């Protein structure tokens, strides 16, 4: 039966594991779409334009915001980030879920938008602050100053944990993955995600009345 797609928002302080978990979710269900954000920050080594982000100028970014093309947008670490609206709307209309890796400001905006009935927001907490630091170091992606900046910013993100539908501590990776899959599977069955139910129930009613 055709259903509507969910907007699945994953937020966490940097290093808590959301990219790793998003990758596992996409391996689990390849119909999941990833919302590719636009950003004014410089690409990092290995990042691909159009896949990791749409790398745009500040002028282009502001023009898109002005035209209403962003579902949400925010300034993070001194750069602008935003989620383009059109691909999200197309995916959920086709019944595909869309994953967002965005910060608390974006999560709040989408949760208040016209699409709010289709939002599933999840916050990932680290088991401890030393473990968060260890993960940032072990990822091997950032220099010492960048890691320190991310650690400084982590409390700002963590302090918004209670604005989310679900919160989980990413201690054991396999367990967190299983919990995420359980939540997504359950949320897909929300009545508001299944507009085709009405037709099915009408068919049941006809059969009931004709028996
Ligand atoms: P984020 O996307 O939130 O910044 P990442 O997914 O890049 O975080 O994870 C940061 C680092 O921590 C990566 O090296 C990843 O392999 C590791 N990691 C993620 N989850 C766990 C976990 N539950 N236990 C141990 N290491 C983890
Ligand atoms: P990074 O520059 O490390 O890729 O991302 C920095 C932060 O920006 C992360 O917390 C990430 O979740 C957030 N972010 C990425 N894209 C978006 C977006 O489109 N909107 C918002 N609000 N935050 C974003």
Which ligand minimizes its atom distance to the CA of 52?
Answer: 2
Cα 34 to middle of ligand 1, angstroms: 18
Cα 11 to middle of ligand 2, angstroms: 9
147-192 per-position pLDDT tens digit: 999 999 999 999 999 999 999 999 999 999 999 999 999 999 999 8
Residue 141: band (very low, low, confident or very high) from pLDDT cuts 50, 70, 90: confident
- Let me know if residue 152 belongs to a domain: yes
Residue to mutate (ligand 2; options 9, 21, 37; most atoms within 8 A of CB): 37
Nearest CA to ligand 2 atom 3: 14
The total of structural domains in the chain comes to 1
- Let me know if residue 87 belongs to a domain: no
Cα 24 to middle of ligand 2, angstroms: 19
Ligand 2 pocket, residue 22 CB under 6 Å: no
How large is the average pLDDT for residues 49-78? 96
- Let me know if residue 130 belongs to a domain: yes
How large is the average pLDDT for residues 4-11? 97
- Let me know if residue 13 belongs to a domain: yes
Instruction: Measure the CA–CA gap between 44 and 83, rounded to whole angstroms.
Output: 19
Model pTM score: 0.95
pLDDT given at position 44: 86
User: Which atom belonging to ligand 2 lies closest to the Cα atom of 77?
Assistant: 6
- Under 8 Å between Cβ of 72 and 38: no
Q: Spell out which residues line ligand 1, taking CB within 6 angstroms.
A: 12, 14-20, 135, 138-139, 170, 173
- Let me know if residue 149 belongs to a domain: yes
Residue 154 domain boundaries = 7-35+96-209
- What's the CATH code of the domain at 141? 3.40.50.300
- Does position 200 have pLDDT exceeding 90, yes or no? yes
99-135 per-position pLDDT tens digit: 999 999 999 999 999 999 999 999 999 999 999 999 9
- Let me know if residue 53 belongs to a domain: no
| Collapsed DSSP state (helix, strand, coil) of residue 125 | strand
- Let me know if residue 116 belongs to a domain: yes
Ligand 2 pocket, residue 41 CB under 6 Å: yes
Nearest residue to 179 (alpha-carbon basis) of 120, 100, 97: 120
Q: Which residues contact 119 (CB under 8 A, 6 or more apart)?
A: 6, 7, 9, 110, 111, 165
20-63 per-position pLDDT tens digit: 999 999 999 999 999 999 999 999 889 999 999 999 999 999 99
Cα 82 to middle of ligand 2, angstroms: 8
Ligand 2 pocket, residue 103 CB under 6 Å: yes
- Let me know if residue 44 belongs to a domain: no
User: Which atom belonging to ligand 2 lies closest to the Cα atom of 83?
Assistant: 19
Ligand 2 pocket, residue 80 CB under 6 Å: no
Rounded to 10 degrees, the C-alpha dihedral 48/37/128/137 comes to: 20
Nearest CA to ligand 1 atom 14: 139
């Amino acid at each position: 039966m055709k259903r509507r797609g969910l907007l699945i928002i994953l937020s966490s302080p940097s290093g808590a594991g959301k990219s790793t978990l998003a990758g596992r979710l996409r391996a689990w269900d390849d119909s999941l779409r990833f919302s590719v954000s636009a950003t004014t920050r410089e690409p990092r080594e290995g990042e691909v334009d159009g896949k990791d982000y749409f790398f745009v100028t500040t002028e282009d970014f502001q023009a898109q915001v002005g035209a209403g093309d962003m579902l949400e947008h925010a300034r993070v670490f001194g750069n602008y980030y935003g989620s383009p609206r059109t691909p999200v709307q197309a995916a959920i209309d086709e019944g595909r879920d869309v994953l967002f890796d965005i910060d608390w400001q974006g999560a709040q905006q989408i949760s208040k938008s016209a699409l709010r009935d289709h939002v599933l927001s999840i916050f990932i907490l680290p088991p401890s602050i030393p473990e968060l630091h260890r993960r940032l170091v072990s990822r091997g992606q950032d220099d010492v100053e960048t890691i320190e900046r991310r650690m400084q910013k982590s409390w700002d993100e963590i302090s918004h944990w209670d604005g989310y539908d679900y919160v989980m501590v990413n201690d054991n990776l396999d367990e967190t993955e299983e919990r995420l899959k359980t939540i997504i599977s359950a949320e897909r069955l929300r009545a508001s995600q299944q507009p085709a139910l009405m037709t099915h129930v009408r068919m049941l009613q006809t059969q009931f009345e004709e028996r």
